[in-house]
Amino acid sequence: MICIAIFLVSLACLWLWGFTNKNKKLPPGPRGLPILGSLHKLGDNPHLDLHKLAQKHGPIMYLRLGLVPTIVVSSPQAAELFLKTHDLVFASRPPHEAAKYIAWEQRNMSFGEYGPYWRNMRKMCTLELLSQTKINSFRRMRQEEVESLINVLREAAKDGVAVDVSAKVSTASADMSCRMVFGKKYDDKDLDEKGFKSVIQEGMQLSATPNIGDYIPYIGKLDLQGLTRRMKAVGKKFDEFFEKVIDDHLQSSENREDKVKDFVDVMLGFLGTEESEYRLERPNIKAILLDMLAGSVDTSATAIEWALSELIKHPRVMKKLQIELESVVGMKRMVEESDLDKLEYLDMVIKETMRIHPVAPLLIPHQSMEDCMVGDFFIPKKSRVIINAWAIMRDPSAWSEPEKFWPERFEGREIDIKGRDFQFIPFGSGRRGCPGLQLGLTVVRLVVAQLVHCFDWKLPNKMLASELDMTEEFGLTMPRANHLFAIPTYRLQNESAIFLVSLTCLWLWGCSKKGKRLPPGPRGLPILGSLHKLGANPHRVLHKLAQKHGPIMYLRLGFVPTIVVSSSQAAELFLKTHDHVFASRPPIEAAKYISWEQRNMVFAEYGPYWRNMRKMCTLELLSHTKINSFKSMRQEEVDLFIKLMRETASDGVAVDLSAKVAALSADMSCRMILGKKYMDDDLDEKGFKAVMQEILYLAATPNIGDFIPYIGALDLQGLIKRMKKVRKIFDDFLDKVIHEHMLSENKKDKAKDFVDVMLSFVGTEESEYRMEQPNIKAILLDMLVGSMDTSATAIEWALSELIKHPRVMKKVQMELESVVGLNRVVEESDLDKLEYLDMVIKETMRIHPVGPLLIPHQSVEDCMVADFFIPKNSRVIINAWTIMRDPSAWTEPEEFWPERFEGQDIDVKGKHFQLIPFGSGRRACPGLQLGLTVVRLMVAQLVHCFDWKLPNGMLPSELDMNEVFGLTMPRANNLFAIPTYRLNNESAIIFFSLICLWLWGSNNKAKRLPPGPRGLPILGSLHLLGGNPHRDLHRLAQKYGSIMHLRLGFVPTIVVSSPQAAELFLKIHDHVFASRPPSEAAKYIFCGQRDIAFGEYGPYWRNMRKMCTLELLSQTKINSFRSMRQEEINLFIKLLRDAANDGVAVDVSAKIATLSANMSCRMVLGKKYMDQDMDKKGFKSVMQESLRLAAVPNIGDYIPYVGALNLQGLTKGMKATGKIFDNFFEKVIDEHIQSESKEDKVKDFVDVMLGFLGTEESDYRVDRLDIKAILLDMMLASTDTSAAAIEWALSELIKHPRVMKNLQMELESVVGIKRVVEESDLDKLEYLDMVIKETIRIHPVGPLLIPHQSMEDCKVGDFFIPKKSRVIINAWAIMRDLSAWIKPEEFWPERFERIDVDFRGRDFRFIPFGSGRRGCPGIQLALTVVRLVVAQLVHCFDWKLPNNLLPSELDMSEEFGLSMPRANHLFAIPSYRLHNERGCAGWFNEQFSYSN
């Protein structure tokens, strides 16, 4: 009776569920039978059955399987919706019998429900079992097993008999898996008499077969299909086997520490610990072991046998793959794992195999964790979602001729196997994508490559290829229905014939190129080619040859075809026009031994690995933010260096400048890269510089083994021996460094060094290629060499040339005196102003290039360059030394003459091919910015702080300028010179400043400055500014005129107080006054002037403004947040309405501030933040504090020498506020970077800017510091200024009931009294527009616009305005000017009725948002918010003041700051005024419910 009752209740629930979802649009699908639903439609091949149904009902199809609502997904577009857009909703798995009996109650990863347990298991597997390090640790084992397989097949090949390839591959796969997972091989009978493959395939088939008990639970116990019984039997076999394995490991008394840990060892290490939220116990370990075993045995073996089946069936593809293997690997050895990345056609073959024979025809079912709308369809909670990968990967709309096996379809298409392209998802996608993908692919690609490379294959019994049976068997995977039998024939060559074959190939290659026009070049010797022509200075030898043969020259070095490029025009062809063809590097012995098998950026082959390493270095190690984070460290080291040099100068002795500069460079590099200084003997007894120069020499010297490989092992030059020695030095040193970092704790208070950054990526999936220890060491060596040796070399050459050319030295010193003065050392902030220094550095690098020969490139394909044929795999040498001395590009190229760069826009970034010291294109040096910063800073300090003379009475012209060839080209002999300290004593600084001030006044006496008050000594007119500077300046302007000059401390200042004067500065001479002055507030709060509001005018500012205008503040972007604004305002009105019901006074200022903060946070940062998320004071207080600090006259800005005393306490407040913002925005950015699957939401401002992070979209890349600066601008403008304008508008309306009434009447007329205002109404509300304008006129957003600064001397009207004058536009005074406004103190909106005055600064009587280049770019957004909120407040409510206060008594005091809010909060009592209570109440409830 109970069973009958349950059955009836279930039917009733099913009926009720259908009834409740009647009004919701489910996807289309077949009508099912009672109880069974569509179960009867699924046969032996459910993937085919579901595919047929989907062709009728669509790519998102609904069907009921028993009592379970099921969604079937059959197209790439639909898959993307489920696996990416709504990935989080569908990340779980449904419970089912197979998971219960075979997977230990869903404890494995494949079938585990989504939640903390599953996340921790996946994390453990990803980091501990399937990391790149772990995969690599089994490389030797894989090679052993593959060689064993090849040996078995080679023996069979001798007999010429057919081999059961399926069985052999299965055995090899099982052996590899067992050794990796369990630590040793197991025989088939150790699991079961049927063997590993049979039992695993049985488990897979049981997991995939539709089980009626999963769909109609009440008859599950009857086990009508007999599946449960079989599941229990299979589960028991695995349980017993894994128990035995675990016991073996626990009981093992052998010392296993010297062996690679297998997966069981790793997991037993967590047994019973609290490493994760769920401790690992035996059932967890067994469940994960089954995942690993099934994934690595069955899926890999299935993919391999299908790949070989398709290749045998398609001889054309087999032949093409063998040709690729011959080209990359050669015919004298087997394939190695290091070859795999070079085998592009193999990659296409594997992809095409997996497309036609997917690893899983139906992905393991997902389950919806909540109701969800996907497209237009409603998907109920707990729906089972089946992704038909088989159908998707044969979709005719995504694939042409999908039934055809055609690997070339992937050529030129960036479709990877990782689930990013939804037409190709053999391993799933999103959160539930297969974590063992990398391991599986490695095994499949390696085994397939070996089978094809080592053997030719034919079918037995003279069977034709087209007759091969390709029938499949359905299961969780889809293996061949019948084993594959084929006859192998061994095809590799005997080693004895290799040399002869090579010579033959060389001769044939020459014959094949005879009809193609190679570049001209010298005729080479047999075998050697032109190797004998290269001496101790190859750059000079190649230069002489190029003078004879031309700028694109061909020569053969050993067996290697080589192209030498020797002109700027030719360089442009190779590094720009055909950059993608020549973006790779050739394999060389130096890269093998010194860069950990080409794992660094400098020598790495072009491909996914290199791109990801470069991206990581560019974004994480060499970004502008990272470089700036070490600014104080650089200054410390330079100050210490100068101090030591100054002490030496007092003794008057010669200094070994080369050694000193090398030591300084090593110290800076070590602190920045490795986290601390290291002594020379920490690396080697020779010291850093000597070892670095050795490594660069070895990398650059032509090695005969690179050009004639067959004698490479003889090491005739002794280079390999030296390489191995250097490699060991760095390997030991960097291992020690990494070990120290891994052991160190609590480094949060320090700037992260490069090792810290890279260690944070170890084992993660941040990039396509995960970071492991060899990668880290390779990149660290790049960084050390790049920052240490190249910088030191450039510095010593620059100083050598300056000492040799006293005229140039004097000119640099004069510029430094002009910009920096003689009372302090140079700071990094000075560098951009030192134009002549920049010319000197360029000229030094032109004559003494960092790399005389750029690191060789290699052509990745045949290519025509101009009229010349360049063969594939040619080595391309760019002779930078020759190019930068080319007489056709440079006048008198041998002369050191920095003035050649004057007025020429030639930089060192590789855009101008006559100057390429750092290369150009894809392979240009990514550390260019860091290198230049160090070189310019050091040269500037050495020249500014000291005069230099040569020892022993040597004349400058006698200075030895010999060089030593290498990858870089340092001086042959160290530079010795005698320094003399030349800066003033600090005690004379203040006196000197006063003299300068007096001289400045004298110089400008004859020039007519604007009138103004006479200032005090030193202070100037600072004492005249009180708590309200806008009013003080207004009073002074009434006396002295609308263009007034006053001196604030040492700073000449112009105050503009009329519309006519404003037009002169903001329109007529806008370009002169477009910059901003430096200020302490901009330094500490606004990220060193990197924002738009305070940024100096220049390329960076223009690009940031362009990005903000087009990407963040466009009308499209503003409109995309419309629904969000409406949601927040609906909530705001509801809260006020609740207060209105109680008849109590509301803190309107606080409510508006909260609304404004919520809207700003959602729009800018993507979600609401609580006040305490920023600081305990809350958003509004911190924002107003920052605006006050930015506006209050700071004595430190005007009298720099007392700035450090912080007499007003402002600097302390600025630093504290800046720290609050920095911590908050760091947290926000990290949340965005770590968050997943946001594609279904409107992109917030952080999302948009992170999209540009590290790209070269503009001249200045966007890094974290830029993002934080722009975010602060956006938050301040959208939070504080909008809130201030809204509360002033409401204050004026309450104070003026007549205006309030007029506005309410307009709103009733346009909107009606039955609904709230919508954004679409705003353009019709003319009187509202007048009210907002009048409010902002009387209470301007910024009473004083952010100061401008003159970039040059200028005549404005009859007045002389000196360069670097600070210009203050008194908007408050201008918008109360009696000559422009009638009764300016009166609040009278009607004054705008017949005046065509807008907010955009075109009419200079009304400039609340500024005008010209520095006008506010966010006007439209701000106005939208202000007008909408004011309209709602006035339309929905009547307002009265508390305590019977009269409107005329309302306090209208203001508080000065960058914006000007009310001094005291506005309190008022609202009364709800909309009609049709019932209808409006329903409307509000609906809106409020939607917004929540």
Distance in angstroms (rounded) separating the CA atoms of residues 99 and 95: 7
Task: Name which of 821, 847, 869, 788 is nearest 995 in CA terms.
Answer: 821
Tokens standing for residue 548: 């004879």
SS3 (DSSP) at 863? strand
Distance, CA of 345 to chain centre? 30
Nearest partner of 1193 among 1024, 1416, 1075, judged by Cα? 1024
Nearest CA to 367 out of 113, 30, 117, 17 is that of 113
**Furthest CA-CA distance within the chain:** 117
Instruction: Note the helical H segments in 708-805.
Output: 719-743, 754-759, 773-784, 790-804
Q: Which helix (H) or strand (E) is 554 found in, with range?
A: strand 552-557
Per the CB < 8 A criterion, the answer to whether 595 and 781 are in contact is: yes
Q: Parallel, antiparallel, or unpaired for β 552-557 and 1051-1056?
A: unpaired
CA gyration radius, the chain: 38
How far, in Å, CA of 278 to CA of 284, rounded?
Answer: 10
Pairing relationship of beta strands 1051-1056 and 1366-1369 according to DSSP bridges: parallel
Burial class (CB in 10 A: 0-12, 13-18, 19+), 646: middle
Measure the CA–CA gap between 1043 and 1066, rounded to whole angstroms. Answer: 13
Q: How far is CA 745 from the centre of its chain?
A: 27
Torsion of CA 765, 768, 774, 775, to 10 degrees: -100
293 Cβ contact partners less than 8 Å away, ≥ 6 residues apart = 177, 181, 200
Distances in whole angstroms, Cα of residue 635 to Cα of each of 24, 488, 665, 829, 941: 66, 69, 12, 11, 11
Phi, psi (rounded to 5 degrees) for 397? -75, -15
Tokens linked to 398:
């995504």
- Category of 1262 on φ-ψ map: left (φ > 0), alpha (ψ -120 to 50) or beta: beta
DSSP state of 577: I
Q: Which parts are annotated binding residues for heme? A: 1416
**C-alpha dist (Å) from residue 1474 to 133, 548, 1294, 1313, 1467:** 68, 92, 18, 5, 22
Indicate the burial class of 145 (C-beta count within 10 angstroms; 0-12, 13-18, 19 or more): buried
List the alpha helices (DSSP H) in 1016-1110: 1029-1040, 1059-1063, 1080-1084, 1099-1107
Cα–Cα dist 1049/1198, whole Å: 5
Counted residue by residue, the chain has a size of 1492
Nearest CA to 345 among 316, 367, 365?
316
| 489, containing H or E segment | strand 485-490
What is the rounded distance in angstroms from the CA atom of residue 1226 to the CA atom of residue 1272? 12
Pairing of β 377-379 and β 372-374: antiparallel
Q: Which residue has the tokens 């997943």?
A: 1236
- The annotation places the binding site at 1416
Question: Do the beta carbons of residue 1122 and residue 1145 sit within 8 Å?
Answer: no
Residues in a beta bridge with 55: none
With residue 43 as reference, give the H or E element that holds it. none
